[in-house]
Structure formats: C-alpha cells, structure tokens
Amino acid sequence: MPRGKFTSHKGRNRRFTNPEELEEERKKEEHQRQWRQQHGESSSEEDDAAAGDKRISEEGSSSEEESTTDEDSPKAKGVSNLIEIENPNRVQKKSKKLTTLSVDGAPEKPQLSRREREEIEKQRAQAHYQKLHAEGKTEQARADLARLAIIRQQREEAQKRREIEKKEKEEAAKQKTALTQKALGKK
C-alpha cells in the first residue's frame, strides 16, 4: 500500500466491537444508573431513558398519584431547585386585552437619539434653505438670478442681431433679383 499523498481508507483493516464487550458496557451503564437513582443523583439524559423504560414497563397500569406528581413538579436541573432567584433583567411579555387599551390616549413621541435628532434638524434646515432659495432670498439665489438676467440680455441681443442680419440678407437677395430682372429686360 502506498504511503504519502494519495492514500485511501479502503484497503485498511477494520476493527469490530465484540458483542461481549457491548453487553459488558451496557450492564455497567445500567449499574451506574441504578446507583445514581438510589443516591438521588441523575442526569437529564438518563432520566429520559429511565422514564422511557418505566413507561414501557408500566404501560398497562397507571395510578393517579404518579400522574399528578409528574405533572405538578417537573424535575429541576442543576441547582435551580435549591436556590430560587429571579432575574431582574428578564422582561416578561405581558399580553394586553383589547378592551383595556385606551384609544383616546395619543401615543407619546418616542425619545430620539442624538444622531436621529441631528439628522431631522439637518433635513429641516435643508428644506428651509430650499424654500428661501426658491423665493430668491439667499445670496446664492440672488447671484443665480443676476447671472440669469445677464444671460437673458445676451440672448435677446443675439436674437436681435440675427433678425437684423436676416432682414439684410433678404434685402440683398431682393436687390439682386431686381438687378437680374432689370438686366434681363423684365420689369
């Protein structure tokens, strides 16, 4: 069998547990479980296994005492049955009835964090600035309006120049056609 990088588990020897070893292990665990029951120590896994065995053996006969003791006092794990402590940080959800809720009372405004308050204030200031800008009351708006007035004036002047040039071209074209007509002898 090659050793190194490309080894496979398929050709190796397999080890099987003897049935005698399994039987001894099971007996040892059963003995430990019984000893723990006698001394009052038991783990939750063993309790579940023991309870399952007990249910199977006592399926036909069940008394009222056993059922009431099982239902009334479930076994507590660890030291929780020795010390009773209530966690002050634990918040239990309390269900509210629809009839007890008051419709009249307006819900209080939730307390906002500093960042949230600053963000809201920033948005309000931005909206206020936009409103003033639209009305033309800010420095930037005044500068923009002055620039727009200059641009409008330049465009009007350019439009007038174009109209004058167009009229001159039309007059030149009329004179040229008139001269050609006169040269041809047509009136």
pLDDT in tens, 159-177: 999 999 999 999 999 999 9
Q: Domain coordinates of the chain in residue numbers?
A: 114-184
Share the mean pLDDT of the chain. Answer: 78
* pLDDT band, residue 94 (cuts 50/70/90): confident
Q: What is the pLDDT of residue 66?
A: 46
Q: Which two tokens stand for residue 164?
A: 């004058």
- Is the per-residue pLDDT at 104 higher than 60? no
**Which residues 6+ apart lie within 8 Å of 19 measured at CB?**
none
DSSP calls for 116-141: HHHHHHHHHHHHHHHHHHHHT-SHHH
Q: Which two tokens stand for residue 52?
A: 């399952």
Q: What is the pLDDT of residue 60?
A: 46
In contact, 37 and 50? CB cutoff 8 Å: yes
* pLDDT band, residue 52 (cuts 50/70/90): low
